Amino acid sequence: MRKTNQIAQSAKKVFPDLALTETQLDSLALYLELLDQWNQRFNLTSVKGFENQVAKHLLDALAPLGLGLGPLLQGRGMDLGSGAGLPSLILALCLPEVEFLSIEGVLKKVNFQETARTRMGLKNFVARQVRLEDLAKEAGLARTQDFVLARALSSLVELGQWAAVFLKPGGRLWAWKGKNWEEEWGELQAQGGWSLEKALPYQLELGFGGVLLLLQKTP
């Protein structure tokens, strides 16, 4: 079975309402092919094997769209600590009208992202090698972003602190979290400045899954 067909079948099983075009499926297969090639030299991710990568990388990154939240992901935003470009590379492929700035501190991972961006033909994606501490000091970035993405990066309290630097008033933090999210949300809520719009659990294949949180920065 062609890998594009395997991706399509897995996506349909996990997210029945998610529509992916043939071009997008080809690009997703290409992304995993490139990731395998780079992993052999640089060990970019710990997730190995095609089926695991489809579930943990591709479908996990597509959770906002698979859960029907695509219309809320608009404008321009940042992906903090993006690693191999997840989720922003995958979302940029499916949302060409949205601008994504991928932030990663490790040069080899940024180089991979730029290679994948070029091969996938993306015009709405930029990757930068920079530490968050340094990025926060840059003039012109404060309170400019419509959204911030953070996939399995840090605690909600820390994510809230970083996101608050970059988000416009009313901007959204999209956080991929695990089963302890409620405790983390309680800690962030106690500090004020955030409202919880959505907390949507999802189950992927091979035992993977999580909770997608959508939080809004209050004025």
pLDDT digits (tens, 9 = 90+) for 78-95: 999 999 999 999 999 999
Cα–Cα dist 162/99, whole Å: 19
pLDDT band at 1 (very low <50, low <70, confident <90, very high): low
Cα–Cα dist 12/108, whole Å: 33
Average pLDDT over residues 154-171: 95
Annotated binding site for S-adenosyl-L-methionine: 81, 86, 132-133, 151
In this structure, is the dihedral angle defined by the CA atoms of residues 76, 28, 204 and 69, taken in order, positive or negative? positive
pLDDT at 160 exceeding the cut of 90: yes
pTM of the model: 0.96
pLDDT at 139 exceeding the cut of 80: no
pLDDT band at 159 (very low <50, low <70, confident <90, very high): very high
Annotated binding site: 81, 86, 132-133, 151
pLDDT at 46 exceeding the cut of 80: yes
Q: What is the pLDDT of residue 219?
A: 78
- Show the domains of the chain with their CATH numbers: 3-217 (3.40.50.150)
